[in-house]
Amino acid sequence: MVIVTITAPGSGPQVNGSPLPFAPTSALGPIGDPTPHWPGRRVVVDGVELHVRDTPAVGAAEGTVVYVHGLGGSATNWTDLAGALSSRWTGHAVDLPGFGHSTPRVDRDYSLRAHADAVGAFVASLGEPVHLVGNSLGGAVAMTVAADHPDAVRTTTLVSPAMPDLRPAPTRLGDGKMALAAIPLVGARTRRELAAEDPGTRLRRTMRLCYADPDAVSPAAFAQAVAEQAQRAEYPWLAEALQRSFGGLVSTWFAPRSRSLWSIAARVRTPTLVVWGEVDRLISVRKARRTVASIPRARLLRLPGTGHVAQMERPAVVARAILGMVDAVADGTWDSAVVRPDVCGTVPG
């Protein structure tokens, strides 16, 4: 396990005197403020209809990257990162069934396995191995797809993956409404209250949980996000998708060891970058070391001053780390670094 911590600009990334894989800013595609949301389309894979936003490569594409959002998120969570990585890759950001603009599965199955099957089928439909990137619930989904389909995944990036975290933590409850809404029966009234809120109010509530500093989001970017939320506010399945996906995820935290997310992590054989914000209020950064130690070819990037959605708060930094991983894999150095759990390095922020 190699741990990298982003600090103030310095002399460059070093671990035990060896350069860490970290691409220069000049290697990135464009990031706007805001970056317009990428156009979407509907696809049907294995009988499941998915809404997918496509990011074309700036020049000749060197490959394909697939993005998987977290609980309550959507494909637009990847807008900036997809722009940054468009310097090399064509991108496809998937709305999980029942989220974003995707309709629910016919069987209303919102388990982690069902989400992973949908993403795995989409990846297979592309006909080539992909770089797979996931955040939170989407990180657990991406990890499952990588473990189950190693030949279909070239690299894996997990941003604050939703690994088992059963600690009592008041910070993850926000003002308490979102937690109460997730409880069957008891939370019915709260779910109705949340559904009646305007999109801006709901988005601010979510951002206070997910961002280290939600005030850093520009007014233009916030307005764009609110407009997108309003577009899907009338979907009748939104509360169901959130509640049942949350329940499906938490059930994996109580699974026997042989079927736990830790056992799935141990089966991931792809080069893997784990990115974790140190101000993550939802899944503690304390889970980062065990996560990286569980995945055979993983390295860890910790980001101070960053919350649960590093790809949205620090898209350029995350993109540089992903491209650095891919370059290191290509030149054979990703697996050659001395691995010690107590090693930390610095890279320019």
In a domain, 99, yes or no: yes
User: Between helices 219-231 and 199-210, what is the axis angle to 10°?
Assistant: 120
Domain limits at 87?
A: 21-167+238-332
In a domain, 1, yes or no: no
Q: Is the pLDDT of residue 9 over 60?
A: no
For residue 344, what pLDDT is reported?
A: 39
Q: Is the pLDDT of residue 18 over 70?
A: no
For residue 15, what pLDDT is reported?
A: 38
186 or 328, greater pLDDT: 328
Q: Is the pLDDT of residue 27 over 60?
A: yes
Per-residue pLDDT of 264-311, as tens digits, reads: 999 999 999 999 999 999 999 999 999 999 999 999 999 999 999 999
Cα(82)–Cα(86) distance, rounded to whole angstroms? 6
Q: How confident is residue 17, by pLDDT bands cut at 50, 70 and 90?
A: very low
Over residues 9-38, mean pLDDT: 72
Over residues 7-35, mean pLDDT: 67
Cα(293)–Cα(2) distance, rounded to whole angstroms? 9
In a domain, 82, yes or no: yes
In a domain, 207, yes or no: no
For residue 198, what pLDDT is reported?
A: 80
Residues whose CB falls within 8 Å of the CB of residue 2, separated by 6 or more in sequence, listed in order: 15, 20, 299, 300, 337, 339, 340, 343, 345
CATH number of the domain within which 148 lies? 3.40.50.1820
For residue 197, what pLDDT is reported?
A: 73
Winning range, highest mean pLDDT, from 9-23, 38-52, 240-254: 38-52
In a domain, 219, yes or no: no
Cα(347)–Cα(349) distance, rounded to whole angstroms? 6
Task: Answer yes or no: are the C-beta atoms of 96 and 144 closer than 8 Å.
Answer: no
Q: How many domains does the chain have?
A: 1
What's the half-sphere exposure (Cβ side, CA atoms, 13 Å) at 95?
28
In a domain, 199, yes or no: no
Q: Is the pLDDT of residue 191 over 50?
A: yes
For residue 339, what pLDDT is reported?
A: 47
Per-residue pLDDT of 66-124, as tens digits, reads: 999 999 999 999 999 999 999 999 999 999 999 999 999 999 999 999 999 999 999 99
N- to C-terminal Cα separation, the chain: 21
Which strands sit side by side in the sheet containing 344-347, from one edge to the other?
Answer: 40-45, 48-55, 89-95, 63-68, 130-135, 153-159, 272-277, 298-303, 3-6, 344-347
Per-residue pLDDT of 221-248, as tens digits, reads: 999 999 998 988 889 998 899 989 999 9
Q: Is the pLDDT of residue 249 over 90?
A: yes
Pair type for strands 18-19 and 40-45: unpaired
In a domain, 217, yes or no: no
Q: Is the pLDDT of residue 210 over 50?
A: yes
Task: Answer yes or no: are the C-beta atoms of 136 and 282 closer than 8 Å.
Answer: yes
Q: Which residues pair with 42 in a beta bridge?
A: 51
Per-residue pLDDT of 123-174, as tens digits, reads: 999 999 999 999 999 999 999 999 999 999 999 999 999 999 887 555 555 5
Cα(165)–Cα(243) distance, rounded to whole angstroms? 18
